């Protein structure tokens, strides 16, 4: 089959799956699930084949035209889309299969699979978009699908609130994206992404208009990729079923923001000021989020904070100028983060609790070999300890910061240290519980949500993602020691990777190991108190556990402001406009009454009045005459 056929199959299979699963077979759960997984398999296979096939000319069909502008719907097949598309395809398929096990008992299973297909369709159409309009449309639809999935358990008020928050917070960023895309279109007079990139390629100083456009686009990225100050929706988004979190945090939704940065990398490189601001925001976010993870006990929440932090890392690499570094970390992170969420889901599924202390106490790690294996592979990769993949990509990012200010570099190291620390804290608390140390009471286990040992449908994807993570690690390690000429991901992207010497890599390795060792002494060592260093500083712990009070600050300022304006508007409406209109009406009626009272029917009065008027008229006319 030609690549065009694959490209079309890639996009239309999930759309068809969505329609069939949600509209036709919603109540026949297993049929719906089978259709969606079949569609997911087609997309995954097509995306891999296309990726292997290498860049091809864009496939597009005229969709419609407005005025002189022709809008096409199509598939752009360059190195950036090919790699991301394959990542999305493979991870989504893994998660769909995993959901077979995880959602087996859910009464809304058919609907769930329908939404998963919608999510995949939106994300793939976004990634492969050849023009600005398609980019924007599917960016929005990715947001819609996330909303539907986060709020999937709609009876749960917390899930509904989280879905609402995710939608509104990302929409704040989308204002910037929307205006930015309109301005970009006006500035370049084309919707075609390749032409736009050609225009900006190589120009280092684009001037104020370029800065504004880049800043507005970055606003959209801040919302979608949960960067400070719009990061607060992502930790709450774990209210959705765990497979959704796995998808949301790895290859879709939050990845869309980073991908947009990579997609328009040439444009951002031409906007020096915005690029520097983005670098600062990303670094700050990376540190901020990892401090929150240090004290969290909810396994999914720890992973959510780590996502925010790692997204910060990706954007640091991209903003520092290295397309490869950011993109590489996006890829490695997508696999190990999806893996970690599936692992977390398996533990939660088994133990009925999100609390890592409670999971550890139940001794789940002893019986769940595959899950524990996945936890260790994913955790080591996340912590950035060689020889697993996270190390290589994080190392590329730190290397790309060479030109940046020392503060940024120090920030990157700090975030890397914290990452290793909280990751190993999680691993040790889950795998090496110390029943003697009742330092903190475990949260109550919820027997309603405990479903027993994971099935093959859950273990299979965990194993597969572990193997992919190991494979990427092996390939990168091979490139490093010279067994291969170039890192395979770098060669797909057509970018050069930075070949670091051992001396250059030493600080990063040392930092990561230091974090892991600290975690070992506090949590892993036999007889350790399992109380973190932060937990011994109650003030700091409270600050971090309350996420620096950022949510509270928003609630008391921005949310209060918006509701205040709404209340004032409502008051103006009821008392001002409505009340005013009523007053006018009342006054009209009252004046009518007054006049009516004069019409009493007493003839004398009328005659008298007429006489006075007549006299006045005579006098008046006499004067004039």
Partner 1 sequence: MDEFPILSAILLCPVAAFVVTLVIPGRQSGLIKGVHGIFALLSVVLSMVVWARYDTGWRENGDVDRFQMMEDVPWVPDLGIHYILAVDGISVVLTLLNAIVFLTGVLSMWTLTLRVKEYFLFMAALVFGVFGVFLSLDIFMFFFFYEVAVLPMYPLIAVWGSTRKEYSAMKLTLFLLAGSALLFPGLISLYFESGGQTWNMLILAQEGTFTPKFQVFVYPFLYLGFGVLAGMFPFHGWSPTGHVAAPTAVSMLHAGVLMKLGAFGILRIAIDLLPSGAAYWAETFAILATIGIVYGAFVAMRQTDFKYVIGFSSVSHMGIVLLGLNVFAAVGAGDGGSDGLNGAVFQMFAHGIMTALFFSSVGFIYDQTHDRDIRHFGGLIGQVPVAASFFLVAGLCGMGVPGFASFWAELLVFVGAVKVFTPLGVIAIAGLVFTAAYMMRVFGKAMFGPKNPQWDGLDDVGPWSALPRVVLVGVLVLFGFLPSVIVDVIRSAGVVSHSGGM
Q: How far is it, in rounded angstroms, from Cα 374 to Cα 368?
A: 10
Residue 414 binds partner 1 (CB under 8 A): no
Residue 586 binds partner 1 (CB under 8 A): no
User: Which of the ranges 183-191, 359-367, 380-388, 403-411 carries the binding residues for partner 1, by CB under 8 A?
Assistant: 183-191
Helical (H) or strand (E) element with 364: helix 364-367
Q: Would you say 29 or 333 has its CB closer to partner 1?
A: 29
Residue 49 binds partner 1 (CB under 8 A): no
Residues in the chain: 625
* Residue 290: both structure tokens together: 């990892």
User: Which of the ranges 169-177, 187-195, 241-249, 371-379 carries the binding residues for partner 1, by CB under 8 A?
Assistant: 169-177
Residue 167 binds partner 1 (CB under 8 A): yes
Q: How far is the CB of 291 from partner 1 (least distance, A)?
A: 29
CB 295 within 8 A of CB 534: yes
Residue 585 binds partner 1 (CB under 8 A): yes
User: Which of the ranges 151-159, 329-337, 443-451, 529-537 carries the binding residues for partner 1, by CB under 8 A?
Assistant: 151-159
Cα torsion for 282, 286, 287, 289, to the nearest 10°?
A: 120
Q: How far is it, in rounded angstroms, from Cα 434 to Cα 444?
A: 17
Residue 620 binds partner 1 (CB under 8 A): no
Task: Figure out which of the listed residues 2, 155, 501, 604 binds partner 1, where binding follows CB under 8 A.
Answer: 155
Task: Figure out which of the listed residues 201, 560, 562, 605 binds partner 1, where binding follows CB under 8 A.
Answer: 562
Q: How far is it, in rounded angstroms, from Cα 105 to Cα 396?
A: 43
Task: Figure out which of the listed residues 8, 24, 38, 179 binds partner 1, where binding follows CB under 8 A.
Answer: 179
Residue 567 binds partner 1 (CB under 8 A): yes
The answer to whether the Cα torsion of 175, 178, 184, 185 is positive or negative is negative
419-423-426 Cα angle (round to 5): 150
Q: Would you say 150 or 381 has its CB closer to partner 1?
A: 150
Q: Would you say 218 or 327 has its CB closer to partner 1?
A: 218
Q: How far is the CB of 125 from partner 1 (least distance, A)?
A: 10
Which residues in the 319-378 window bind partner 1 by CB under 8 A? none
Residue 164 binds partner 1 (CB under 8 A): yes
Task: List the one residue out of 228, 235, 380 whose CA is nearest residue 315.
Answer: 228
Q: How far is the CB of 184 from partner 1 (least distance, A)?
A: 11
Residue 157 binds partner 1 (CB under 8 A): yes
Q: How far is the CB of 325 from partner 1 (least distance, A)?
A: 32
In sequence order, the 6+-apart residues with CB closer than 8 A to the CB of 177 are 136, 139, 216, 217, 219, 220, 221, 223, 260
Q: Would you say 19 or 548 has its CB closer to partner 1?
A: 19
Tell how far CA 601 is from the center of its chain: 79
Q: What is the DSSP string of 566-622?
A: HHHHHHIIIIIIIHHHHHHHHHHHHHHHHHHHH----HHHHHHHHHHHHHHHHHHHH
Residue 168 binds partner 1 (CB under 8 A): yes
Q: How far is it, in rounded angstroms, from Cα 138 to Cα 136?
A: 6
Strands (E), 22-137: 59-66, 69-75
Task: Figure out which of the listed residues 195, 546, 563, 591 binds partner 1, where binding follows CB under 8 A.
Answer: 563
Residue 24 binds partner 1 (CB under 8 A): no
Task: List the one residue out of 235, 216, 209 whose CA is nearest residue 308.
Answer: 235
Residue that the structure tokens 């595959």 belong to: 370
DSSP 444: P
Residue 60 phi, psi (nearest 5): -150, 155
Q: How far is it, in rounded angstroms, from Cα 77 to Cα 616?
A: 94
User: What binding mask, one character per residue, do residues 106-145 give for partner 1 by CB under 8 A, x or -?
Assistant: ------------------------------xxx-xx--x-
Q: How far is the CB of 569 from partner 1 (least distance, A)?
A: 4
Q: Using DSSP, how many helices (H) and how many strands (E) does the chain show?
A: 28, 2
User: Which of the ranges 57-65, 300-308, 423-431, 470-478 carries the binding residues for partner 1, by CB under 8 A?
Assistant: 57-65
Task: Figure out which of the listed residues 565, 605, 607, 616 binds partner 1, where binding follows CB under 8 A.
Answer: 565
Residue 199 binds partner 1 (CB under 8 A): no
Orientation angle between helical segments 254-263 and 207-224, nearest 10 degrees = 160
Residue 539 binds partner 1 (CB under 8 A): no
Q: How far is the CB of 488 from partner 1 (least distance, A)?
A: 35
Q: How far is the CB of 186 from partner 1 (least distance, A)?
A: 7
Residue 12 binds partner 1 (CB under 8 A): no
H helices within 74-108, ranges in order? 79-102
Write out the residues near partner 1 by the rule CB under 8 A: 63-67, 136-138, 140-141, 144, 151, 154-155, 157, 160-161, 163-164, 167-168, 171-172, 174-175, 178-179, 182-183, 185-186, 562-563, 565-567, 569-570, 573, 577-578, 581, 585
């Amino acid at each position: 089959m030609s690549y065009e056929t694959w490209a079309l199959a890639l996009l239309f299979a999930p759309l068809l799956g969505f329609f069939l699963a949600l509209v036709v077979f919603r109540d026949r759960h297993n049929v719906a699930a089978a259709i969606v997984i079949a569609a997911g398999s087609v997309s995954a296979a097509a995306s891999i084949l296309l990726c292997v096939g290498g860049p091809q000319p864009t496939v597009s069909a005229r969709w419609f035209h407005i005025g002189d502008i022709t809008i096409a719907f199509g598939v752009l097949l360059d190195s950036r889309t090919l790699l991301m598309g394959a990542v999305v395809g493979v991870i989504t398929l893994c998660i769909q299969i995993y959901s077979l096990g995880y959602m087996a008992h859910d009464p809304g299973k058919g609907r769930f699979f329908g939404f998963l297909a919608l999510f995949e369709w939106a994300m793939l159409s976004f990634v492969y978009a050849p023009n600005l309009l398609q980019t924007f449309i599917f960016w929005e639809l990715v947001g819609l699908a996330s909303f539907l999935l986060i709020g999937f358990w709609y009876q749960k008020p917390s899930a509904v609130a989280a879905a609402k928050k995710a939608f509104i917070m990302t929409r704040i960023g989308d204002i910037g994206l929307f205006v930015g895309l309109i301005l970009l279109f006006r500035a370049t007079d084309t919707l075609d992404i390749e032409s736009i990139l050609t225009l900006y390629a190589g120009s280092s100083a684009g001037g104020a208009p370029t800065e504004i456009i880049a800043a507005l686009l970055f606003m959209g990225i801040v919302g979608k990729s949960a960067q400070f100050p719009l990061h607060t929706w992502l930790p709450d988004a774990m209210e959705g079923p765990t497979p959704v979190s796995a998808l949301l945090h790895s290859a879709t939704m939050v990845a869309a923001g980073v991908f947009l940065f990579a997609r328009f990398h040439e444009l951002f490189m031409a906007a020096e000021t915005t690029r520097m601001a983005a670098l600062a925001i990303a670094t700050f976010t990376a540190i901020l989020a990892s401090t929150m993870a240090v004290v969290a006990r909810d396994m999914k929440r720890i992973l959510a904070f780590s996502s925010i932090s790692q997204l910060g890392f990706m954007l640091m690499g991209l903003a520092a100028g290295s397309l490869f570094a950011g993109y590489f970390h996006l890829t490695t992170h997508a696999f190990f983060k999806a893996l970690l969420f599936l692992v977390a889901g398996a533990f939660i599924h088994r133990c009925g609790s999100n609390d890592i202390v409670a999971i550890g106490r139940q001794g789940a790690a002893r019986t769940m070999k595959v899950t524990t294996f996945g936890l260790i592979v994913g955790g080591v990769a996340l912590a950035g300890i060689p020889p697993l993949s996270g190390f290589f990509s994080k190392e590329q990012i730190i290397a790309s910061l060479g030109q940046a200010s020392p503060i940024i570099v120090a920030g990157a190291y700090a975030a890397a240290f914290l990452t290793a620390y909280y990751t190993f804290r999680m691993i040790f608390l889950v795998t090496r519980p110390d029943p003697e140390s009742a330092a903190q009471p475990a949260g109550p286990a919820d027997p309603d949500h405990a479903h027993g040992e994971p099935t093959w449908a859950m273990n299979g994807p965990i194993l597969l993602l572990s193997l992919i993570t190991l494979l990427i690690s092996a390939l990168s390690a091979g490139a490093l020691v010279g067994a291969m000429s170039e890192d395979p991901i770098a060669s797909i992207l057509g970018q050069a990777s930075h070949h670091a010497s051992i001396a250059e890599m030493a600080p990063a390795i040392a930092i990561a190991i230091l974090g892991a060792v600290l975690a070992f002494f506090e949590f892993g060592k036999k007889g350790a108190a399992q109380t973190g260093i932060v937990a011994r500083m109650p003030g700091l712990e409270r600050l971090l556990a309350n996420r620096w009070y950022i949510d509270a600050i928003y609630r008391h300022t921005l949310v209060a402001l918006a509701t205040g304006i709404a209340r004032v508007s409502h008051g103006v409406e009821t008392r001002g406009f409505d009340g005013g209109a009523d007053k006018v009406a009342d006054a009209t009626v009252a004046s009518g009454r007054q006049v009516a009272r004069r019409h009493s029917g007493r003839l004398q009065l009328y005659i008298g009045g007429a006489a006075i008027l007549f006299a006045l008229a005579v006098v008046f006319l006499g004067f004039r005459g």
